[in-house]
Amino acid sequence: MRWCASNCICRFLHRHTPALTVALLFILCANQVIHYSSSRNTKNSPVCYQIVSPFAGSPIALQQQQQHNQHSHLHHQLLHRNANGSVYNGSFVGYYNYVPPDIQWSQARYDNRRMLKIYEWVWPSQLWEDLMDRFDVCLATQGSIDRISSIGEVSEKWLGPISLAVYVANNDELTVLHLFIAYMRKCSALFNQTVSIHLAVPLGFTSPNASSSSASSFDFSTYDEFPCGQPHQFIAYTIKNVLPDGVDKSGLYPQNHMRNIARKTCGTAWVFMTDVDIIPRPNSSFLLQEFYETPEAKCTKCAFVIPVFELEKSVPYPETKKQLIKYANRGLARQFHLKIYRYGHWATNYSLWITSNLDEEPVKVSHSVGGRMNHYEPFYISSDEIPGHEERFVGYGFTRSSQVLEARISGWKFFVLTPIFAIHWGLQTPQTIRSAPLPIPLQVLKIKQKDFAHGANSRRMQNSRNHVIYTDFVSELVARYNISMSRKKNQRRFPPARINRI
């Protein structure tokens, strides 16, 4: 302190520290405001995601492709596209008008139960034919308009062909979907090049026309300044503007219909069936393509499970299996739906997966699926010969487990792959997935007060409805495949899984 008292600089700093701190904070804030303003005034918005395209725009990627001399046609085609992968540069309304849906409303295909009108290849990917020549594996996914905002991240991580089936309940939801596709095609090269979109509408859907469309008097000026890289915010903003009452939840979402549509339009030897909010590991399509060409993958009636983890939203996406395991050890990642219904993925044996084959190596089989497989509902990759999803299950409950049950009964075996994985953002609990109850007539509330009291969520009611269907479905499988329900006979009929090579 004596030295400080005799030093003029030290005395100055000691006396004016608060003022200097405030001045420094003011300078930092001003710098952030100036930087933000300059980014908002930029004509060309940045692309949505870190990886613009694995096929174009990166000099290193292009050099590697030239060195390996592979897929020259695809490479040549992509070199002539814009840096952001789009083919139109202009206002948002220009993108909206440039990507109109290619729908002939009188040419619908009906599902087997005539619940839906199906329109395939409404928005085809720009490079679908070239991707079919390059890949033997396709990602098939589905969602409603309030869930499809994750498709941008899925395409960034997957880097291969994606078949997306979208369900819209009315014309306003179709407008929201059209606006979202215009936004994604403006911002994301991968979405343009890899994602093909198919549409399903209810049987009573009224086809739109130019005069009745909600977009005919729509103000597009607010969308011109909307930054890229925010698909979730864009969907929320658009739904708020176009659908003041929100997305129509009065009907049950036809999950299995949408899964079958997405799967049948893939056109590859293998299909990876997921939900749209399941994000695969980076570069998954290339990793699985390499595995497809190995002798280990050449087996009959084999399905290969890809473990899915819930991941805390505050941490970055894990690039490797070791990083994912570190998150799991810290409680930041865990088995998918562990707190919702643990038995849905229990047979995958996550404990064994995270303690073995820790090195980064080509994709291979880690272990076979065994143990408790009742109501097993994994996300897996398999050939298209596996039984389809039963379309009687509408809404929540038994939609995927019923399909896996039929596959097992018909002789399919399941194996877990490593080190590949997928994640779902957020650690889910029954409280986080709870939704508002469906409208129930007053007479029903008086009769079944116990069932509907205290705001019981709609998932429970849908699950109860599908449980009745599931009971009949199991009885039909027993008769169809001529099997016995005896435990001992079932154990002899379904021994531990082994790979049957061709």
CA distance to 94, 301, 452, per residue, from 221 (Å): 11, 53, 45
Which tens digits make up the pLDDT trace of 405-459? 999 999 999 999 999 999 999 999 887 765 444 343 333 333 333 333 333 457 7
**Which residues have a Cβ under 8 Å from the Cβ of 429 and sit 6 or more positions away?**
339, 340
- pLDDT higher than 60, residue 321: yes
128, HSE (Cβ side, Cα atoms, 13 Å): 16
Position 415 scores a pLDDT of 97
The pLDDT value given to residue 297: 94
Q: Give the list of residues 6+ apart from residue 38 with CB closer than 8 angstroms, or none.
A: none
Q: What percent of the chain has pLDDT over 70?
A: 71
Q: 76 near 62, Cβ under 8 Å?
A: no
In this predicted model, what pLDDT tens digit does every residue of 216-266 receive, in sequence order?
556 667 777 788 999 999 999 999 988 888 887 777 899 999 999 999 999
Packing angle, helices 72-79 and 59-68, rounded to 10: 150
In this prediction, residue 350 carries a pLDDT of: 96
Q: In the predicted model, what is the mean pLDDT of residues 320-336? A: 95
pLDDT band at 35 (very low <50, low <70, confident <90, very high): very low
Has residue 214 got a pLDDT over 60?
Answer: no
Return d(Cα 468, Cα 318) in angstroms, integer. 40
Q: In this predicted structure, what is the pLDDT of residue 7?
A: 66
Pairing of strands 308-311, 333-335: antiparallel
Q: What phi and psi values does residue 382 have, to the nearest 5 degrees?
A: -160, 175
Q: What pLDDT, on a 0 to 100 scale, did the predictor assign at position 24?
A: 74
85 Cβ partners below 8 Å, 6+ apart?
Answer: 47, 52, 53, 56, 57, 188, 189, 190, 191, 192, 193
Give the per-residue pLDDT at 26. 74
Secondary structure class of 417 (helix, strand, coil): strand
Is the pLDDT at 60 greater than 60? The verdict is: no
Per-residue pLDDT, 310? 97
Terminal alpha carbon distance of the chain: 85
pLDDT band at 177 (very low <50, low <70, confident <90, very high): very high
pLDDT at 370 over 90: no
pLDDT band (50, 70, 90) for residue 46: very low
Q: Which residues lie across from 383 on neighbouring strands?
A: 270
pLDDT greater at residue 206 or residue 17: 206
Write the DSSP string, 174-239: HHHHHHHHHHHHHH-HHHHHHEEEEEEEETTPPPP-TTT-TTTT---HHHHTPPTT-HHHHHHHHH
What distance in Å separates the CA atoms of residue 345 and residue 372, rounded to the nearest whole number? 10
Of all residues in the chain, what percent carry a pLDDT higher than 90?
A: 54
CA distance 467 to 287: 37
Higher pLDDT residue, 245 or 132?
132
Helical residues (DSSP H) of 304-409, grouped into ranges: 321-329, 350-353, 401-409
pLDDT at 61 over 50: no
Least confident of 39-48, 263-272, 278-287, 370-379: 39-48
* Contacts (Cβ under 8 Å, ≥6 apart) of 254: 115, 116, 167, 200, 391, 394
What pLDDT is recorded for position 404? Answer: 96
Integer CA distances (angstroms), 216 to 209, 212, 219, 224, in order = 10, 8, 9, 17
pLDDT of residue 225: 79
| Residues 5, 9: Cα–Cα separation, whole Å | 10
Collapsing DSSP states into helix, strand and coil, what is residue 477? Answer: helix
Most confident of the ranges 32-36, 175-179, 320-324, 454-458: 320-324
**Does the pLDDT at position 473 exceed 60?**
yes
What pLDDT does 307 receive? 97
One-letter amino acid at 115 equals: M
Question: How many C-beta atoms surround the C-beta of residue 52 within 10 A?
Answer: 20
* CA dist., res. 292 & res. 137, Å (int): 8
Task: Report yes or no: 458 and 394 within 8 Å, Cβ to Cβ.
Answer: no
* Lowest-pLDDT choice from 186-190, 304-308, 497-501: 497-501
Q: Mean pLDDT in the chain?
A: 79
What pairs with residue 311 in β-bridges?
333, 425
